[in-house]
Amino acid sequence: MIKKFLELGYQPLANSYLLKKNLNKKEKKFKLEVGFNKNNYLVSILKTVAKEKMFNINYPYKSSESYTMRKSFKDLSKDIKNRFKPKFIIEIGSNDGAFITNFNKGSVVGVEPCKNLAQITKNKKYTTYAEYWSQELSKKITKRKKADIVYSANTLSHIENFDEIFKAINNALSEKGILIIEDPSLLKCLQNVAYDQFYCEHIYVFSALALRNILVKFNLEIFDVENIKSHGGSNRYFIKQKKNNSYKISKSVKREIDKELKFGLNKLSTYQRFATKVKKSKKKLLKIFDNLYNKNLRVIGYGATAKSCTVLNYCGIGKNYIDYFFDTTSYKINKFLPGSKILIKKYKKLNRNEIDFVYLGAWNFKEEIFKKEKTFIKKGGKFITHVPYPKII
Ligand code: JHZ
């Protein structure tokens, strides 16, 4: 039984950046509502959008755009090589290759339905299937050899059909093969009041509790979990087939689940409290923007993220408050954020003579951004964030 606990208004598709010529066209919007399943503790958005509308020939998000993520994938690749010594790896959602390019070409295969991204790794001669992950594809890829590791970062939370995903994974895994997935942590999302983790692409925000329940049906179990910093706090789950006795269940699994239970991720009331905090967060953020507007201060945004789409449209923040966004991603530059229609400009170092305040759309990369913008900060430039509560820093 799914209980709705959060309403985030009518939202456009988060990664559907607008061309100037389309600014006056009516955008397709959907009702963004989030619910809690009392039976398996899964948190999901209530209305989903067809995958073809989101992940197609022109996906604008590139994992390699930040140093933090490049380093995270590189470090993980080293760990995987040392700990598991895999001969064959499949990545589901290989994006622009931030993970697979750390391995030898013959030992890894990428699956990436967004054709513009798949082409990037194809050009580097990495075997890449520009298709959606499915049982059929899994059989095709593993016809000759099964995978020692199936890896997927920030992708399984984007796929609606668990049956198809996990049956395909079970087919792909070798006898001792394992699945490693990482996605934003629901616990962190709630602790940070990071309601912008909810948008069309994030069908689910997983807890270890919910994931454990879902995996049971597929004879899969979590044997290790790591809390990692990516995307404001994620979990990296190491998962094996039940019949695979090569790995002991680490204490980390119980520790994580106990933490989640202590916080109340198994109770609807926890989510209702979160929803109240979200409403307060909106009020507080608008107050900050109002104040800056009244003082005629120059405010821009940093990182035209998918997450920003939720915040800007839920709070009603537009060109009235933010002059433009800076972003490094070529696909986004000179386009406009969906809904709010704020222009995205090609990134250049923040200049204190031109800018007073900067809204952190990419708050999850705060450390990386602050390092880059040392001079701006030294000269009195300030940032605005809504995480964990709206404030100026
Ligand atoms: P970032 C996307 O979400 C969509 P977004 C997707 N659904 C998902 O799950 C996550 O990624 C993984 C820019 N930037 O990573 C680059 C700068 O301009 O928070 C990106 O456009 N300068 C698949 O969009 C954006 O910010 C910088 O210095 O919420 C970051 O997007 C840095 C560090 C980033 O994901």
365 Cα nearest atom in ligand 1: 33
Residue nearest to atom 13 of ligand 1 (CA): 303
Per-position b or e across 340-350, b if 16+ CB within 10 A of its CB? bebbbbebeeb
pLDDT at position 121: 98
Report in angstroms the alpha-carbon separations of 212 from 34, 149, 169, 215, 249. 20, 19, 16, 5, 13
Ligand 1 pocket, CB under 6 A: 61, 65-66, 154, 201, 231, 303-307, 327-329, 332, 347, 362, 364-365, 368-369, 372
pLDDT at position 137: 98
Q: Are 47 and 353 in contact (CB under 8 A)?
A: no
How many helices (H) and strands (E) are present in the chain, helices listed first? 12, 17
* C-alpha 326, offset from chain centre: 20
The pLDDT tens digits for 150-159 are 999 999 999 9
3-state SS of 92-158 is ECCCCCCCHHHCCHHHEEEECCCHHHHHHHHHCCCCEECCCCCHHHHHHHCCCCCEEEEEEECCHHH
**What's the CA gap between 369 and 373, in Å, rounded?**
6
Q: Residues of the chain whose pLDDT is less than 50?
A: none
Nearest in space to 45 (alpha carbons), one of 30, 57, 61: 30
pLDDT at position 119: 98
pLDDT at position 21: 97
Q: Where does the chain have alpha helices with state H?
A: 51-54, 67-84, 115-123, 135-141, 162-172, 186-191, 208-216, 251-263, 268-294, 306-315, 366-372, 374-378
**What's the CA gap between 345 and 329, in Å, rounded?**
10
pLDDT at position 112: 98
Residue of 15, 51, 65 to test ligand 1 pocket, by largest number of atoms within 8 Å of CB:
65
Residue nearest to atom 24 of ligand 1 (CA): 305
Distance 92 CA to ligand 1 centre (A): 18
Residue of 17, 199, 305, 329 to test ligand 1 pocket, by largest number of atoms within 8 Å of CB:
305
Give the orientation angle of helix 208-216 with respect to helix 162-172, to 10 degrees: 70
Distance 217 CA to ligand 1 centre (A): 33
Distance 66 CA to ligand 1 centre (A): 8
User: Which residues, in sequence order, are CB contacts of 11 under 8 Å at separation 6+?
Assistant: 29, 30, 31, 32, 199, 200, 309, 310, 313, 314, 339
pLDDT at position 163: 98
Mean pLDDT (the chain, rounded): 98
**What's the CA gap between 46 and 2, in Å, rounded?**
9
Nearest in space to 356 (alpha carbons), one of 378, 375, 382: 382
Q: Count Cα neighbours of 165 within 13 Å in the Cβ-side half-sphere.
A: 20
**What's the CA gap between 187 and 86, in Å, rounded?**
31
The pLDDT tens digits for 73-85 are 999 999 999 999 9
pLDDT at position 282: 98
pLDDT at position 149: 98
Residue nearest to atom 31 of ligand 1 (CA): 305
Burial-class residue 302 by CB neighbours within 10 Å (0-12, 13-18, 19+): buried
pLDDT at position 9: 98
